[in-house]
């Protein structure tokens, strides 16, 4: 019996695409969904140029489209399939193999990045299951991304030092200058990356224990954890966010900051949110700055998170009284979420305060936080320019050595240093 047999048996209509067994030393499988990606081989070259890890690695490319895709997409994917197949012939060795899956006729109802990523990740699980390696890692990458040459070795060294790791995010940096894109694209990606890092850092400041980036090209999960948590979903957008927030609450989830993924800053209208959508919206706007959540939204959360333990074994009247003392946006939101009843149910199933806190944050999770932030922004605290928000956060959090006048690029460099563990506080 393989460790993932139960999960794999429930996946209807799928079977291993590849009959050749993986090497016994296989430790990493990179999964790349590719939809209409003429420059896909640039991403493959970036991985090929990496220093080889001690454990072997494979890269599974899933060229995908809907059965109802327009002819232009069909033609582009056929070209990609041909070009990548030819490229693979010249770029395979035992330590790093490239495998190509043709999924250019997906059912229209499910077709999208979620199903494509799931197809590749399930195939990676098949391969680890075949060699009985529950401790192999499935790595998520994108067709327009690049990476530093120590991508594999940094992941290998970090996970070897942390054998209990269930999953991780990988440090990323979008290009913020160059000639490949119009200048406004680079301005837009600076704003968007500022927003992402501001959101992540402020949530950590509030005490939220599950604050991690959820970027599709920058994460990894251990094979057995992937299977135990039900695998990747089929969502057409946000699949990475929903998947990772099943893995993160398991614990033993870490940041890997000693290497770097370089996602593309390009605009896109394929999905309604995420990097491509944010840049596209910025390009079509006359605004000079993206907007983000005001600090007051996060400080209200902090006022709750700092006293979560006081809710343990609290009576409904005590919980209601505590909620009434919170800032009004959070009061209203908790009321809408039937918080008193939910906290009562959590208490009924917890014997220790540690268990209570863990279960509380599984209830008041990242999904509820996003909904709360949108609720608070709509009804109480209007969104503000991202530069103003970051400056205020850094002041609140006590980060030193910030110049009196600082532009958005400089602020991004500050946040990048903080997230790599080099910032001053």
Q: How far apart are CA 49 and CA 21, in angstroms?
A: 24
**Percentage of residues in the chain having pLDDT higher than 70:** 98
Average of per-residue pLDDT values in the chain? 93
Q: Which two tokens stand for residue 290?
A: 């993206």
What average pLDDT score do residues 203-211 get?
A: 97
φ/ψ of residue 142, rounded to 5 = -120, 155
* CATH architecture type of domain 5-13+22-289: Alpha-Beta Complex (3.90)
Q: Which residue has the tokens 């996970």?
A: 159
The confidence score (pLDDT) of residue 37 equals: 92
Cβ atoms of 361 and 210 within 8 Å: the answer is: yes
Pairing of strands 384-385, 291-292: antiparallel
The first and second tokens of residue 101, run together, are: 């899956």
pLDDT digits (tens, 9 = 90+) for 56-68: 999 999 999 999 9
CA separation for the pair 398, 34 (Å, rounded): 43
Q: Is the pLDDT of residue 9 over 60?
A: yes
Q: Is a pLDDT exceeding 80 seen at residue 268? A: no
The ranges assigned to domains in the chain are: 5-13+22-289, 295-379
Average pLDDT over residues 388-392: 96
423 torsion bin: left (phi>0), alpha (psi -120 to 50), beta (else):
beta
Distances (CA, A) of 67 to 16, 32, 108, 296, 354: 21, 20, 6, 47, 50
Strands (E), 246-345: 253-262, 291-292
Task: Tell me the C-alpha distance between 100 and 85, whole Å.
Answer: 7
d(CA 204, CA 199): 9
* DSSP code, position 315: -
Cα–Cα distance, 327 to 285 (Å, whole number): 33
| pLDDT computed for residue 273 by the predictor | 65
* CB 109, CB 196: distance < 8 Å: no
**DSSP letter string over 182-235?**
-HHHHHHHHHHHHHHHHHHHHHHHHT-TT-----TTSEEEEHHHHHHTT-----
Instruction: Report pLDDT digits (tens) over 278-290.
Output: 878 878 887 788 9
Res 405: pLDDT? 77
What is the pLDDT at residue 340? 95
For every residue of 363-423, DSSP letters joined together read HS-HHHHHHHHHHHHHHTS--EEHHHHHHHHHHHHT-----SS--HHHHHHHHHHHHTT--
What is residue 93's DSSP assignment?
B
Residue 134: strand, helix, or coil:
coil
Give the pLDDT confidence of 348-382 residue by residue, as tens digits: 999 999 999 999 999 999 999 999 999 999 989 99
Distance between terminal CA atoms of the chain? 51
Q: What pLDDT is stored for residue 422 in this prediction?
A: 59
The predicted structure's pLDDT at residue 272: 61
C-alpha–C-alpha distance, residues 319 and 331, integer Å: 12
Q: Provide the token pair at 73.
A: 């997409």
Is residue 262 helix, strand or coil? strand
252 dihedral zone (left: phi>0; alpha: psi -120 to 50; beta): left
pLDDT at 261: 98
Note the pLDDT of residue 196: 97
Write down the pTM of the prediction.
0.95
Structure tokens at 404: 């009196």
Which segments within 141-189 are labelled E, that is strand?
146-147, 167-172
Per-residue tokens: 15: 């079977």
- Structure-block tokens of residue 211: 């604050």
pLDDT on residue 279: 79
- Per-residue model confidence as pLDDT tens digits over 109-167: 999 999 999 999 999 999 999 999 999 999 999 999 999 999 999 999 999 999 999 99
> Does 21 score more than 60 pLDDT?
yes
Tell me what pLDDT residue 425 has.
Answer: 44
What pLDDT does residue 198 have?
A: 98
Query: Using CA atoms, how far apart are residues 214 and 196, in angstroms rounded to an integer?
Result: 9
How far is the C-alpha of 76 from the C-alpha of 115, rounded, in Å?
19
Residue 278 is classified by DSSP as H
183-195 pLDDT, tens digit each: 999 999 999 999 9
User: How, if at all, do strands 219-222 and 167-172 pair?
Assistant: antiparallel
Q: What is the pLDDT of residues 159-192, one digit of tens each?
A: 999 999 999 999 999 999 999 999 999 999 999 9
């Amino acid at each position: 019996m393989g460790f993932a047999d139960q999960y794999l048996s429930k996946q209807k209509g799928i079977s291993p695409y590849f009959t050749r067994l993986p090497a016994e030393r296989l430790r990493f499988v990179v999964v790349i969904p590719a939809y209409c990606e003429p420059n896909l081989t640039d991403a493959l070259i970036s991985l090929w140029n990496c220093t080889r890890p001690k454990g072997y690695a494979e890269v599974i490319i899933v060229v995908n489209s809907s059965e109802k895709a327009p002819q232009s997409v069909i033609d582009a994917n056929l070209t990609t399939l041909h070009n990548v197949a030819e490229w693979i012939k010249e770029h395979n060795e035992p330590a790093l193999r490239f495998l190509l899956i043709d999924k250019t006729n997906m059912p229209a109802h499910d077709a999208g990045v979620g199903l494509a990523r799931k197809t590749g990740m399930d195939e990676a699980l098949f391969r680890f299951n075949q060699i009985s390696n529950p401790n192999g890692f499935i790595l998520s990458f994108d067709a327009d991304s690049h990476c530093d040459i120590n991508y594999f070795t940094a992941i290998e060294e970090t996970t070897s030092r942390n054998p209990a790791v269930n999953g991780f995010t990988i440090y990323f940096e979008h290009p913020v200058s160059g000639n490949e894109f119009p200048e406004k694209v680079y301005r837009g990606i600076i704003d968007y990356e500022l927003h992402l890092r501001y959101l992540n850092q402020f949530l950590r400041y509030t005490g939220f224990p599950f604050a991690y980036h959820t970027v599709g090209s920058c994460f990894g999960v251990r094979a057995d954890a992937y299977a135990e948590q039900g695998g990747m979903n089929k969502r057409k957008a946000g699949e990475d966010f929903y998947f990772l927030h099943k893995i993160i609450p398991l614990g033993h989830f870490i940041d890997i900051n000693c290497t770097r993924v370089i996602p593309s800053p390009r605009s896109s209208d394929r999905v309604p949110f995420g990097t491509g959508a944010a840049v596209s919206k910025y390009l079509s706007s006359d605004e000079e700055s993206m907007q983000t959540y005001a600090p007051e939204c996060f400080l209200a959360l902090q006022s709750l998170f700092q006293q979560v333990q006081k809710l343990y074994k609290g009576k409904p009247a005590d919980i209601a009284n505590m909620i009434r003392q919170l800032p009004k946006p959070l009061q209203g939101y908790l009321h809408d979420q039937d918080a008193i009843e939910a906290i009562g149910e959590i208490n009924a199933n917890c014997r220790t305060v540690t268990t209570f806190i863990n279960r509380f944050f599984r209830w008041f999770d990242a999904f509820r936080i996003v909904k709360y932030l949108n609720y608070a922004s709509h009804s109480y605290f209007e969104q503000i320019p991202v530069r103003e928000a970051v400056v205020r956060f850094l002041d609140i959090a006590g980060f030193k050595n910030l110049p009196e006048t600082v532009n958005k690029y400089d602020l991004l460099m500050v946040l990048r240093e903080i997230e790599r563990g080099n910032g001053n506080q």
